[in-house]
Amino acid sequence: MATAIPEIPTTSEASPEKTLAAVKRPYPGALVVVEGIDGSGKSTQLYLLKRWLEIGGYRIHFTEWNSSPLVKSATRRGKQRRLLTPVTFSLLHAADFADRCERQILPLLHGGYLVLADRYIYTAFARDAARGCSPKWLRNLYSFAPIPDITFYFRAPLDVAVNRIVAGRPKLKYYEAGMDLGISLDRSESFRIFQERILNNYDQMVETDGFVLMDGTVRVNRLQKLMRGIVAERIKLDQFAPKKKRNEAKQEKRAE
């Protein structure tokens, strides 16, 4: 029997002016998200943050875009046969997200976990809109999604990000390069144009969706230090710490 999704603050209900920290959440957990175009460095930074928290013994859960086993096989077949239109592609990703949200993200947030997401609904808002889907339709499609406590937006110049991807892969995939859009017959050029569209869409969300802007060209260790500082400042990490560490923190506060 499917688990009922409780009423929670969603991306369509929160005004841009309302700070994310001020949104009252009906669960004890917290949600940290990373976004950015391919090659922006977001996945590396989230992995480092995840390892830091794991070593500290914090209760965390990691989830990534397009990873639901329920939908993955259908998406793979559609890509292999090049059957996916922009709308069907978008709906498959939405189904994937809905499955992970219902089975992983929401239960763990209610269970008091710190959930780390490599890409979130903003990926759909940026990428699917770049494929021609209506931004308003996309917002409505994902209106059930809980608002992240922090959304890190890793922004790297287009040429830097594209060069990182092209240099690290022998061949760009058909949909990855945006070849389904008929932008260019050359995969590298098509990929660059497609990524530029996505980048522009992300930039428009910085203010409206309260992104924390991170410079993707900064040294990895310096950027990670900054990321950890922001997480520690905005989220009460003590509540996700092992019981022993929580008790030590309480004793330190009493001593003060």
The total of structural domains in the chain comes to: 1
Query: Do 114 and 108 touch, CB atoms closer than 8 A?
Result: no
Question: Count of residues for the chain?
Answer: 256
For residues 127 and 125, give the distance between their C-alpha atoms in angstroms, rounded to a whole number.
6
- Closest residue by Cα to residue 170 from 188, 197, 148, 151: 188
pLDDT at 256: 57
How crowded is the C-beta side of 148, counted as CA atoms within 13 Å? 21
Identify whether 1 is part of a domain.
Answer: no
Residue 10 lies in a domain: no
Phi, psi angle pair for 94, to nearest 5°: -65, -40
**Residue 1, Cβ neighbours under 10 Å: how many?**
3
Asked whether residue 126 is assigned to any structural domain, the reply reads yes
Compute the distance between CA of residue 176 and CA of residue 38 in angstroms, rounded to an integer: 10
Q: How far apart are the first and last CA of the chain?
A: 50
| Predicted structure pTM score | 0.85
Q: Which helix (H) or strand (E) holds 232?
A: helix 220-234
Which residues does 59 contact at the CB level (< 8 Å), separation at least 6?
A: 112, 113, 114, 240
How far, in Å, CA of 87 to CA of 106, rounded? 26
d(CA 199, CA 196) in angstroms, rounded, equals 5
Residues 210, 184: contact at Cβ < 8 Å? Answer: no
Residue 250 has a pLDDT of: 53
Residue 19 maps to a domain: no
In DSSP terms, 146 is beta-bridged to 10
Cα pseudo-dihedral 89, 93, 98, 104, rounded to 10: 160
Q: Does residue 70 form part of some domain? A: yes
Instruction: Give the structural domain span for 170.
Output: 25-242
pLDDT at 251: 56
Per-residue model confidence (pLDDT) at position 254:
57
Q: What is the pLDDT along the chain (256 residues), one digit of tens a residue?
A: 333 333 434 443 433 433 344 456 789 999 999 999 999 999 999 999 999 999 999 999 999 998 898 888 888 898 889 989 999 999 999 999 999 999 999 999 999 999 999 999 999 999 999 999 999 999 999 999 999 999 999 999 999 999 999 888 878 999 999 999 999 999 999 999 999 999 999 999 999 999 999 999 999 999 999 999 999 999 999 999 987 665 555 555 555 5
CATH number of the domain at 194, please: 3.40.50.300
- Spell out where the chain has E strands: 30-35, 60-64, 114-118, 150-155, 212-215
In sequence order, the β-bridge partners of residue 151 are 33
Is the four-CA dihedral 23, 25, 31, 33 of positive or negative sign? negative
